[in-house]
Amino acid sequence: MSGPRAEDVTLRQASRVWWLVGLNSFGGPGAQIPMMHRMLVEERRWISEGRFLHGVNFTMLLPGPEAQQLATYIGWLLHGIRGGLVAGGLFILPGFVAILGLSIVYVTFGDTRLVEALFYGIKPAVLAIVVTAVVRLGRRAVRSGALAATAVLGFIMIFFFDVPFPFVIVTAGGVGFLVGRLRPAWFVGSDGEHAPDLPTLIDDGVSTPTDPRRAVRVAVVGLVLWLLPVGAAGVVAGSSSVWFEMGAFFAVAAVITFGGAYAVLSFVAQQAVQVYGWLMPGEMVDGLGMAESTPGPAIQVVQFVGFIGAYRLAGQDPMMAAILGAALVTWVTFVPCFLWIFVGGPYVDRVRDHPSLTTTLSAITATVVGVIANLAAWFALHTLFGELAERTVGPMRLLVPRWSSIDLLAASLAVAGVVALTVLRWPLLRVIAVLAVAGAVVHALA
């Protein structure tokens, strides 16, 4: 049976789906990647299982938000650079609009109680998405004892020992390479050997040609577009202006964000609060709450930093200054994410055909399941319990909940979300909307 063709889906049709992906992108990569898997692999069959997991491997190794870059990668495979710009841009846009609106509310009214009411039910919905995602992805990516052990090892390293994410991925790749060389039978059924059950628009055999001259042109144009607003801010407002300082700082931060948002947020918070004085410590926490409660990557908290810093320090017309600051910081943070895909995508695609690296990528994919399980556990503890104690036993770090602080309503909403997703097979947007409304009503009555 011949499968569907990528040209059968127009860019306009794809744009509607990417808009839905952006609206559903709550909960960080632990929820966003499984959400895209369900919408693009299971429901629409735009991309095969193996190719999707290859994209996950690729983006996990890049600086920047993995899920946004995965959307960019799939959009690029479907419709080239235009498709990548649409997919990656629409992944960011809903969160940008939401955080911008909430930032305006924040500086106007001075608190975030409205935010808490609106998003009280969203966190249990995200938890339900993450839990079901761990099971679903685990069944597909972990198909041998060696891969299961690799996934468990990744979970233990991050959850109990707080090992940096890049080290976890490098370790997984090394283990996969060695096991593949010494005991290749242990990885039978790995992602590179699994054929999709149904035809897809982008299957494992679709190749992307490489062109070094094109890669150089894209890189040069991208670098100019990336840094041009920073240079313009320096020329127009001066090198000592808050816009230039923020643009230059976040341009550097964008290329060191290995390991996801949380790996770099402590550095950003320290610089923004203690060194530059763009905002107060409590404001940084409020901004992170906004980023976690709205669609898009958690790293979009930098937009709030840019908004508050410019609002406070730019002088005349603070609201317009704040909007410009938010837009500038968002621009320099995300433009490199597109560059990594458009320049490196064709070359990394060739890696998947290299037999000696198949088991390495399989091990990384299995480790990603462990990483998502870590995020699920972390999110469950912080969503369902009001009080957590951090204890250390030697090199181990334990998060111990106070059971009397459990939020039974949030737990009930999370269970309802799991039932809606697995038994009723509701779409993600319906689950999020229903639980958001239910949570907001109960929160308002409490």
- Rounded to the nearest 10 degrees, the angle between the axes of helix 29-36 and helix 355-384 is 120
Please give the mean pLDDT across all residues of the chain.
83
pLDDT band at residue 355 using 50, 70 and 90 as cut-offs = low
Q: What is the DSSP letter of 381?
A: H
Across 311-335, average pLDDT = 91
- What are the structure tokens assigned to 93, written together? 């846009």
Considering only residues 144 and 336, tell me which one the structure prediction assigns the higher pLDDT.
Answer: 336
Q: Which helix (H) or strand (E) holds 397?
A: strand 396-401
The confidence score (pLDDT) of residue 194 equals 46
Considering only residues 342 and 42, tell me which one the structure prediction assigns the higher pLDDT.
Answer: 342
Residue whose structure tokens are 């929160």: 443
Residue whose structure tokens are 């906004």: 290
The confidence score (pLDDT) of residue 82 equals 96
Task: Provide the terminal-to-terminal Cα distance of the chain, rounded to the nearest Å.
Answer: 57
Please write the tens of the pLDDT for every residue from 358-384. Answer: 777 778 778 878 877 887 788 788 889
**442 pLDDT more than 90:** no
The confidence score (pLDDT) of residue 198 equals 60
The confidence score (pLDDT) of residue 94 equals 94
CB within 8 Å of 116: residues ≥ 6 apart: 443
The confidence score (pLDDT) of residue 271 equals 82
pLDDT over 90 for what percent of the chain?
A: 34
Q: How far apart are CA 226 and CA 155, in angstroms?
A: 36
**66 pLDDT more than 60:** yes
**353 pLDDT more than 70:** no
Across 378-392, average pLDDT = 86
Across 307-328, average pLDDT = 90
pLDDT band at residue 221 using 50, 70 and 90 as cut-offs = very high
Give the residue from 293, 287, 306, 294 showing the smallest Cα distance to 98: 294
pLDDT band at residue 248 using 50, 70 and 90 as cut-offs = very high
Q: What is the DSSP letter of 4?
A: P
The confidence score (pLDDT) of residue 70 equals 95
pLDDT band at residue 265 using 50, 70 and 90 as cut-offs = low
Please write the tens of the pLDDT for every residue from 141-200. Answer: 788 888 888 889 989 998 898 887 668 878 888 888 888 788 777 776 544 444 445 667
Across 100-114, average pLDDT = 78
pLDDT over 70 for what percent of the chain?
A: 86
The confidence score (pLDDT) of residue 401 equals 92
**446 pLDDT more than 80:** no
**225 pLDDT more than 80:** yes
The confidence score (pLDDT) of residue 259 equals 52
Considering only residues 56 and 94, tell me which one the structure prediction assigns the higher pLDDT.
Answer: 94
Across 241-269, average pLDDT = 78
Give the residue from 179, 147, 185 showing the smallest Cα distance to 369: 147
**431 pLDDT more than 80:** yes
**138 pLDDT more than 60:** yes
Considering only residues 341 and 313, tell me which one the structure prediction assigns the higher pLDDT.
Answer: 341
Give the residue from 386, 379, 421, 412 showing the smallest Cα distance to 401: 386
The confidence score (pLDDT) of residue 285 equals 66
The confidence score (pLDDT) of residue 190 equals 45
- In 238-317, which residue ranges form alpha helices assigned H by DSSP? 242-254, 261-270, 281-293, 301-313
Residue whose structure tokens are 């190719």: 51
**3-state SS of the chain: helix, strand, coil percent to 5?**
75, 5, 20
**39 pLDDT more than 60:** yes
Considering only residues 4 and 119, tell me which one the structure prediction assigns the higher pLDDT.
Answer: 119
**49 pLDDT more than 90:** no
The confidence score (pLDDT) of residue 110 equals 62
Considering only residues 16 and 378, tell me which one the structure prediction assigns the higher pLDDT.
Answer: 16
- What are the structure tokens assigned to 298, written together? 């958690």
CB within 8 Å of 53: residues ≥ 6 apart: 140, 141, 191, 361, 365
The confidence score (pLDDT) of residue 211 equals 85
The confidence score (pLDDT) of residue 193 equals 45
